[in-house]
Chain A
Amino acid sequence: MNGVHDMGGMHGMGPIGPERDEPVFHHRWEARAFALVRAMGAFGRWNIDASRYQRELISGAEYLRISYYERWLAGLSELLLRHGFISAEELATGKARAPGTALAPQVPAKPALRAADVQAFIARGAPAARASSVPARFEQGQRVRARNLNPLGHTRLPRYVRGKSGVIDRAHGLFVFPDTNAHFQGECPQHVYCVRFEAQELWGEDFTSGDAVYVDLWESYLDAA
């Protein structure tokens, strides 16, 4: 979707303003929100693409107004509702219904993440590469053009490269395809390629010759050029 989250190349967002000796979390609630997202993600009921898409669905003005962990909190609350972990009433009141109330049937009968399992959970991660014998359509050095796609759903094809041409810098292998995975339509793995776009191709001839942006793109985002 063409949301405000797709920020590459926009003007007017102000100075960057790095903070010296910044703490990992500025408030305790940020730490708890971060951990809640990870702990609930461990149930495996949704995936990272669905999680990102949920945050993209925050309305544009709200997305820019709230902080990073507020977006995480908003996204998590929606996912918990949609997947039957909590009801709207429970979210509104902060109180569970009568003890023993059954969860929605789609909630996995899996125990909550335990402290003792956290280290292994972090170490395992969630690899997105997939093994397959599907041949790659493009090879290193080949000229390609990013397709002009404007889906309403989730995509990892940034707007600023659409319609632009570049060169395959390397092939990364097969990865889960976010555009389907975010919508629970399957992993549908595709080859991912690192594509080098010249700064002048992206932004015009006033920009520095020789500077470039490299973007990792799924095969169906690309055409041979």
Chain B
Amino acid sequence: MPSDPALRVMALESLLVEKGLVDPEALDALVDAYEHRIGPHNGARVVARAWKDPAYKARLLTDATAAIAELGFGGLQGEHMMAVENTPMVHNLVVCTLCSCYPYPLLGLPPVWYKSAAYRSRAVIDPRGVLREFGLELPAETQVRVWDSTAELRYLVLPEQPEGTDDMSEEQLASLVTRDAMIGVGQVAPPLAGEVA
């Protein structure tokens, strides 16, 4: 096998296709799903719904898998979900120190930094330092809860709703929610002045 991973993957794919074990169109469909359909915009819809609808938020925090399924999301690497809520007193951060488990149906595939040795090693021992690296300085009185998702539960952080956004629609709110806020390495920023029509 060639040492270049690009050549090795190409060789392996053509071998498996030749043996009838892989349908290249199925590979195209898998790639397309995660490049175009499944991503943080799904998680953002869940967060915005929870901000808008207190009854939905209560369901999300008690049975996240069922509440997320209400919006049509679930399946591979999101079979068993938990949602953890940020408040002025509690900040949540998600990691997987043993591999890189991540809630695919809501956030898509994990970014390189989430899978890095640096993040996996430090998130549990130095969460405040990690957050500082992402530009987030937490007050000393805010408690940090790190969720090391090494079993089959996958975690979504429900960020705090930014001030002054109560009049925004669910769709407008969803557009504010970032991937990083749903992992817990960021917060949701209020819209810039004039951004809300």
Contacts and interface: CB of A to CB of B under 8 A. Distances in A.
B192 interface: no
B111 interface: yes
A90 B15 contact: yes
B109 A210 contact: no
A155 B15 CA distance: 33
Given A19-B112, A85-B21, A213 B15 contact: no
Interface of B: 1, 5-6, 8-16, 18-23, 25-31, 33-35, 38-39, 74-80, 95, 97-100, 108-109, 111-113, 115-125, 127-128, 130, 133-134, 140, 143-153, 180, 185
A191 to B, nearest CB: 11
Nearest to A127: B79
A5 B117 CA distance: 8
A28 B6 contact: yes
A225 interface: no
A73, A208, A213, A218: residue with the most chain B Cβ atoms closer than 10 Å = A213
25 contacts: A5-B98, A7-B97, A7-B121, A8-B95, A8-B97, A8-B98, A13-B116, A14-B118, A18-B113, A19-B113, A29-B5, A32-B10, A52-B99, A91-B15, A115-B28, A118-B33, A119-B29, A122-B38, A125-B78, A127-B79, A128-B80, A129-B152, A156-B98, A160-B124, A214-B145
A31 interface: yes
A118 B28 CA distance: 10
Interface in A1-45: 5-11, 13-19, 22, 24-29, 31-36, 38-40, 43
Contacts of B35: 24-25, 31
A123 B143 CA distance: 36
A19 B9 contact: no
B121 A13 contact: yes
A94 B1 contact: yes
Nearest to B33: A122
Contacts of A203: 125
The 9 closest A-B pairs by CB, nearest first: A8-B97, A216-B151, A94-B11, A35-B27, A118-B29, A115-B25, A128-B152, A10-B121, A35-B30
Given A11-B121, A40-B16, A160-B125, 13 more contacts: A7-B98, A8-B123, A16-B122, A26-B112, A34-B31, A103-B19, A112-B22, A115-B26, A118-B30, A119-B33, A172-B151, A211-B128, A216-B149
B1, B39, B112: residue with the most chain A Cβ atoms closer than 10 Å = B112
Contact of A9 (B39, B99, B124): B124
Nearest to A173: B80
A126 interface: yes
Interface residues of A, number: 88
Contacts, number: 254
Interface in A105-127: 112-115, 117-119, 121-127
A44 to B, nearest CB: 13
A55 B146 CA distance: 25
A172 B20 CA distance: 40
A96 B177 CA distance: 48
A49 B39 CA distance: 25
B116 to A, nearest CB: 6
B150 A123 contact: no
Interface stretch (A63-71, A135-143, A145-153): A63-71
A77 B35 CA distance: 24
Nearest to A23: B35
Contacts of B120: 7-8, 13
